[in-house]
Amino acid sequence: VLQLVESGGGSVQAGGSLRLSCVASGYIVYKRFCFGWFRQAPGKEREGVAAIAPRDGTTYYSDSVKGRFTISQDTAKATLYLEMNSLTPDDAAMYYCAAVRTIAYCPQLRDSEYNYWGQGTQVTVSS
């Protein structure tokens, strides 16, 4: 069973940066999963932020974060990262790491297709 644990959230001022981490554990083959970062702010729907297909490292981003956020991974450490720069108050949310087992297909930012979720880490951005 895959388990995901996020960390790295916190409070920053607008324009600041944070790096989120997500450690995957369990009896898994890391490269057989597509991983993604999602976020949900109070009163809003969950939004896909970024995803990465471990087999070839292809990355996907929402338009709202493209150019500011970078998803990456360290397969040796089974750890997923989200580097967030130029943060704005609109980026404030609970951020979740998610995964889905796949051989080749990565559902990118479609959250309904991910079936493993972490508990989330809070990001607060003050103006």
pLDDT band with cut points at 50, 70 and 90 for residue 104:
confident
Mean pLDDT in residue range 78-98: 97
What is the spatial distance between Cα 53 and Cα 73, in angstroms, rounded to a whole number?
A: 10
Q: Please spell the DSSP secondary structure of 10-44, one letter per residue.
A: EEEETT--EEEEEEEESS--GGGEEEEEEEE-TTS
| 95 token code pair | 């951020």
| 36 token code pair | 């993604």
Q: How many CA atoms lie within 13 A of 4 on its CB side?
A: 26
Mean pLDDT in residue range 18-43: 90
Residues whose CB falls within 8 Å of the CB of residue 89, separated by 6 or more in sequence, listed in order: 14, 125, 126, 127
pLDDT band with cut points at 50, 70 and 90 for residue 27:
low
pLDDT in tens, 40-68: 999 999 999 999 987 788 999 999 999 99
Q: Tell me which of 22 and 1 has the higher pLDDT.
A: 22
Mean pLDDT (the chain) is 94
